[in-house]
A and B are shown apart, each in its own frame.
Chain A
Amino acid sequence: MVEEALILQDIHIDDFLTIFVSAGLVLVFGGFYVGIYTAVKAELLKPWIMPFAYIAWLCTAYCLYLMGSLMHVNDFTAKTLVVAGLSLLLIPHAVYYMLRRVHEENEYIHEENEEYVHEENEQHVQAKNEH
């Protein structure tokens, strides 16, 4: 097992371009996925666009697969790639979940204590001017 991991299989010379391009596209599609997801949740984009986020994620997953297989990754690294792909899928959901909770809390505070917030800001400016 260990011996196996020590040997790197040669990469075929015609495969380098595909490897670099797909490695680059992993993050480009990944960015699209997270971006579209976030924009829909933030109501900057319409909800019907959401499936495109997941399509982008599928493209990411395919690029990871393509890149990994042409690179001849070993078993461990293959698992790594799966973990990376799944983390990418899950993270926006987790972040959005937390963000929504903070936003709710914050908007609540904001409405209730609108004046307080303003006051704090003014004090802040004053404090700055006093120096």
Chain B
Amino acid sequence: MANNYLTSESKKLATWYFTFAAILFGAQLLFGLVAAIQYVMPGFLFEILDFSVARTVHINALVIWMVFAMMGSVYWLLPDETGIETVGIGLGKLFYWVFVAAIVVVVLVYLFVQVGPADQTTIWFIMEGREYLEAPRWADIGIVVVVLGFIYNLYATGMKGKRTGIVTVLMADMLAFAGIYLAGMGYTDNISVDQFWWWWVIHLWVEATWEVFVGAIAAYGLIHMIGAHRKVVEMWLWIEVAMLFGSGILGIGHHYFWIGTPEYWWEIGALFSALEPLPLVAMFIHVLYDWGKQQGAQEAQGKEVSVVTNKPAFTWFVLQAFGNFLGAGVWGFFHTFPQVNLYTHGTQFTSAHGHLAFFGAYATILIGMFYIAVQNKNGIKVMKATKKSIWATCMIFGGVLGMTVALTLAGYVQVLVSRAQMGATWAGYFDGQAGIWFAQGMDWRLIMGVVTFIGFIILIKDLLSIGSATHHER
């Protein structure tokens, strides 16, 4: 990464965001490993770093690194799309450091303070206790301020420069993304009400606004990496947006089966969430279609070379289309009807879906963005894969797929034993986890987690070194 070919301040800022995202990604995996070891050896780090703490860091780091990488991606593509330098970049830089500092403090508090007196001081200074969004209130408010700055930059730039379809979609989507966060900030001691609003953030993020975000990023990637026609790509994008919001918003009903919300949510949840995989199928086919079309056009001109200008990034983009379909689509559809969810709810099945969906839909494409940044930072015209990038891709994707299979089998045992045979009783809960299938599922999850982690180390090495490899076209 010796030479810096980036002249746009917005792109430089994007690389800062990507760098911190990658660091947090590493932290996420490390704490995931700790939690996975604790499933196999319950005494591991007991009372030093309990499962509850490791899990908190694991899933909050997950959400935050993705938010960082998403903001980075927007700063990255804005100059390309609007044709001008991002407005308010100084503010962007200042807020970047504020955001980083806040996250570091929050993580240190999680690790070293861990628990509070369970009154208002805990909520304000230690943690808020809503899964995935556990940042204490002071940090919550800080995040809102930082994101407001980001939204301002996006809107000011979009209004001043050329406003493409991609920018328009992002402007609307990022506003919704930020606005929804507010739903998770209130406090109520009624657990049903609390969960009701909490799902607004989680579900409406990952199954509506984040999906639209990746749709826009994929559109950008297709235009810039394989030269797909903007008009066609943007038309797909609008179709995807309509389908995603059309099914995803009311699909939230699939979280309102058992939390004390009215029964009509069963039907609403079943209907709309059953439709949710349709746009994911469409997005998958879209990527393959455009790729085939562009490559075909190239070959028709007698050129046998690949149309792809960034092999590792494009590989991750294709894996995203596939992983999104598999993790969110197939694994989501598995348990989205109340009749089945009654049995799968809260088993390792949920965790299998959570892992493959978050990874397949989001981690993949954001890693792809890291590679796009590395390519441009090093002034490379056509970036080819290296041995390291191939190993990293196979190990990370294979590792997460392996974890998912292990968790699915463990979940299946829980469904049969804990739920179907023993009727969700106290004894059933423990018996379901006492069997050999469950235990082996946890062993394999750990093993595949280690594979994933080694893949991650190779990925980082590759990101740091691929720019100076000599086989690219410059």
- Interface of A toward B, CB cutoff 8 Å: 2, 5-6, 8-11, 13, 16-17, 19-20, 23-24, 26-28, 30-31, 34-35, 38-39, 42-44, 71-73, 76-77, 80-81, 83-84, 87-88, 91, 95, 98-99, 102-103, 105-106, 109-110, 124, 127-131
A26, B330: Cα distance in complex, Å: 8
Q: Is B323 an interface residue (CB 8 A)?
A: no
Q: Is B329 an interface residue (CB 8 A)?
A: yes
Q: Using a CB-CB cutoff of 8 Å, which residues 233-279 of chain B contact chain A?
A: 235-236, 239, 243, 263, 266-267, 270-271, 274-275, 277-278
Per-residue A-contact encoding for B173-192, CB less than 8 Å = 1, 0 else: 00000000000000000000
CB pair A27–B281 under 8 Å, yes or no, is yes
Point out the residue from B9, B282, B292, B421 that lies within 8 Å of A39, measured CB to CB.
Answer: B292
CB pair A20–B333 under 8 Å, yes or no, is no
Q: Which residue of A lies closest to B339 (CB)?
A: A71
CB pair A98–B334 under 8 Å, yes or no, is no
Given contacts A39-B292, A91-B282, is CB(A77)–CB(B239) below 8 Å? no
Point out the residue from A6, A9, A19 that lies within 8 Å of B340, measured CB to CB.
Answer: A19
Other contacts beyond A24-B330, A105-B231: 7, CB < 8 A: A8-B338, A23-B333, A80-B267, A102-B232, A102-B235, A103-B232, A106-B229
A34, B79: Cα distance in complex, Å: 35
CB pair B333–A27 under 8 Å, yes or no, is yes
A131, B231: Cα distance in complex, Å: 26
22 A-B pairs, CB-CB below 8 angstroms? A10-B420, A16-B420, A17-B412, A23-B340, A24-B330, A26-B333, A34-B282, A34-B285, A38-B285, A42-B292, A42-B293, A43-B296, A44-B292, A72-B339, A77-B339, A84-B274, A91-B243, A98-B235, A102-B235, A127-B83, A131-B7, A131-B9
Q: Using a CB-CB cutoff of 8 Å, which residues 399-416 of chain B contact chain A?
A: 412, 415-416
Per-residue A-contact encoding for B339-368, CB less than 8 Å = 1, 0 else: 110110000000000000000000000000
A109: chain B residues at CB < 8 Å are: 231
A31: chain B residues at CB < 8 Å are: 281, 284-285, 325
A5: chain B residues at CB < 8 Å are: 263, 266-267
A23, B330: Cα distance in complex, Å: 8
Q: Is B85 an interface residue (CB 8 A)?
A: yes
Q: Which residue of B lies closest to A109 (CB)?
A: B231
Q: Tell me the smallest distance from the CB of A112 to a CB of chain B, in Å.
A: 14
Q: Tell me the smallest distance from the CB of A21 to a CB of chain B, in Å.
A: 10
Given contacts A11-B420, A23-B334, A77-B270, is CB(A35)–CB(B340) below 8 Å? no
Q: Is B23 an interface residue (CB 8 A)?
A: no
A10: chain B residues at CB < 8 Å are: 420
A121, B157: Cα distance in complex, Å: 20
DSSP class of A's interface residues: helix, strand, loop or mixed? helix
Point out the residue from B83, B271, B334 that lies within 8 Å of A124, measured CB to CB.
Answer: B83
Q: Which residue of A lies closest to B271 (CB)?
A: A80
CB pair B80–A128 under 8 Å, yes or no, is yes
Q: Which residue of A lies closest to B330 (CB)?
A: A27
Q: Which residue of A lies closest to B10 (CB)?
A: A131
Q: Which residue of A lies closest to B334 (CB)?
A: A23
Per-residue A-contact encoding for B282-300, CB less than 8 Å = 1, 0 else: 1011001100110010000
Q: Is B125 an interface residue (CB 8 A)?
A: no
Point out the residue from A8, A26, A95, A128 that lies within 8 Å of B339, measured CB to CB.
Answer: A8
B9: chain A residues at CB < 8 Å are: 131
CB pair A131–B8 under 8 Å, yes or no, is yes
A76, B85: Cα distance in complex, Å: 53
B421: chain A residues at CB < 8 Å are: 13
CB pair B8–A80 under 8 Å, yes or no, is no
Given contacts A44-B292, A77-B270, A128-B79, is CB(A88)–CB(B278) below 8 Å? yes
Per-residue A-contact encoding for B428-455, CB less than 8 Å = 1, 0 else: 0000000000000000000000000000
A32, B338: Cα distance in complex, Å: 27
A19, B236: Cα distance in complex, Å: 33
A24, B292: Cα distance in complex, Å: 26
Q: Tell me the smallest distance from the CB of A88 to a CB of chain B, in Å.
A: 6
A131, B275: Cα distance in complex, Å: 45
A71, B412: Cα distance in complex, Å: 16
Q: Tell me the smallest distance from the CB of A26 to a CB of chain B, in Å.
A: 7
Output the residue of A9, A39, A77, A124 with the most chain B CB within 10 A: A77
Q: Tell me the smallest distance from the CB of A128 to a CB of chain B, in Å.
A: 7
A38, B263: Cα distance in complex, Å: 39
Q: Tell me the smallest distance from the CB of B87 to a CB of chain A, in Å.
A: 13
A17, B412: Cα distance in complex, Å: 9
Q: Is B16 an interface residue (CB 8 A)?
A: no
Q: Tell me the smallest distance from the CB of A130 to a CB of chain B, in Å.
A: 8
